[in-house]
Amino acid sequence: MAATAAAYQPRQSMSTREIRKRVLVYAGLCFYAFIAGLPVYWMFITTFKPDQDLYNLRSFPLFFNERGVTWDHVSLLFNRTGYWVWIKNTFLVSAAVVLITLIFAVPAGYALARLRFRGAESLTIGIFMTYLVPTTLLFLPLVKVISWLGLFDKLGALIVAYPTFTIPFCTWLMAGFFKTIPFEIEEAAMVDGCSRVGAIVRVIMPLSLAGMLTVAIFAFTLSMQDFVYALTFVSSSDQKVVNIGVVTELIRGDVFYWGSLMAGALIAGVPVAILYSFFLDYFIKGITGGAVK
């Protein structure tokens, strides 16, 4: 017993320097966690706070106040708007955009990174530059294309429009990721009898899982964030996505339904955030993959 205690002694008597370091690290983490979590917490409180407390300047905004908790805002959101339809539309559009983006960005990124053709570097930069053109400039010319395709006011309009900004960015991301995979691995597979396609499927793709997941996350997030295309291409209530639906139907000029707005954003956002946490390691690996070779 005495021997065990002696063995643990060095751990118990942590040096002051070590303690200070840990305190600083955790203080920093707590600060960032507080900054990151505060808006979500505030949304949660607002979702369940009665209007009278929300508008009362004497009520502290981060706690429930004298009138307690109400379900009215959530009830209004679910019973008097098309919220479930918007949620469904959002996930359908985002999933379709992720699929299209992967289909185009992965081969394009591979070609730009590994086929060693002239101008590949400039082309990569050029493709990325198209991502920087703001949607507020593009929506008017793009609406003509959408109309020509017969997709105006249909969810298909968003599925066609969103890849115009997800593919350039994700191609650039994948090109950077492919560059981190040593050429020798692919060449070794080809020496062992694989064709180029075989090497891609058997060797490169499994090694690029982190990059592809990152691309999927980015495409999904960008689709959920867009406002301009969703607003201008779709206006029917049953075709709206959640980011447009809550804003267009719960903000009535100078009347804001704050509780329901926050409920709408919270319910749509939190599951996605939890889902992302499963992929966090892949995401970090994917986004930093191109940083070092």
Partner 1 sequence: MESETKTVLSRNSLSRRRFVRLAGLVLIGGATTSLLAACGGGGGTPAKPAEPAKPAESKPAAPAATTAPAAPAAAAKPTEAAKPAEAAKPAADAKPAEAAKPAEAAKPAADAKPAAQAGPAAKPKSGASLKILMWSHFVPAYDEWFDKYATAWGEKNKVDVKVDHIRNADMPARLAAESSAGAGHDLFEFQAVLQAATYKDKLVDLNDVADAVGKKYGGWTDIAKSFGLVDGQQKALMTYAILQPHIYRKDYFKEVGYDKFPDDYPTLLEASAKLKEKDHPCGLPLANCNDGNHNWRSVLYSFGGAEQSADGKKVTIASDETLAALKYGVELYNRGMTDEVFSWDDAGNNRFLLSGRGSWIDNATSAYITAKSQAPDVYAASAIALNPAGPGSKGARRNGVDANAWAVWKWANDPDTAKAFIVDWYDQWQEWGKVTSGYNSPPLLDMWKKPMPGLEDPDFKIMEDWRELSFVAGWQGPFHSGIEEINSTFVIPNMFARAIRGEGPEAAMKWAEGEYTRIFKAHNVG
Residues that bind partner 1 (CB under 8 A): 51-52, 54-58, 72, 76, 80-85, 88-89, 91-93, 95-100, 139-141, 143-144, 146-147, 151-156, 158-160, 209, 213, 216, 228, 231-233, 235-239, 247-257, 260, 278-279, 282
Smallest distance, partner 1 to C-beta of residue 147, A: 4
Instruction: Pick between residue 118 and residue 252 the one whose CB is nearest to partner 1.
Output: 252
* CB-nearer residue toward partner 1: 169 or 257: 257
User: 128 or 248, CB closer to partner 1?
Assistant: 248
CB of 277 to partner 1, least distance (A): 11
Give the whole-angstrom CA distance, residue 166 versus residue 169: 6
Distance CA 209, CA 211 (A): 5
Cβ 106 to partner 1 shortest distance, Å: 13
Amino acid at 20: R
Distance CA 242, CA 49 (A): 22
Closest approach of partner 1 to the CB of residue 89, in Å: 6
Residue closer to partner 1 (CB basis): 115 or 255? 255
Choice between 43 and 112, CB closer to partner 1 = 43
Residues 6+ apart with CB under 8 A from 107: none
- Taking the C-alpha atoms of residue 175 and residue 105, their distance in angstroms, rounded to an integer, is 9
Closer of 123 and 231 to partner 1 (Cβ): 231
Q: State the Cα–Cα distance between residues 272 and 183, nearest whole angstrom.
A: 36
Least separation in angstroms between residue 23's CB and partner 1 is: 32
Nearest distance from C-beta of residue 19 to partner 1, angstroms: 34
CB of 185 to partner 1, least distance (A): 20
Dihedral through CA 134, CA 137, CA 142, CA 147, nearest 10?
Answer: 130
Structure tokens at 218: 């980015």
| Closer to partner 1 by Cβ: residue 218 or 233 | 233
Q: Give the shortest CB-104-to-partner 1 separation in angstroms.
A: 13
Residue 148 in tokens: 């020509």
Q: Which is nearer to partner 1, 156 or 211 (CB)?
A: 156
231/162 Cα distance (integer angstroms): 13
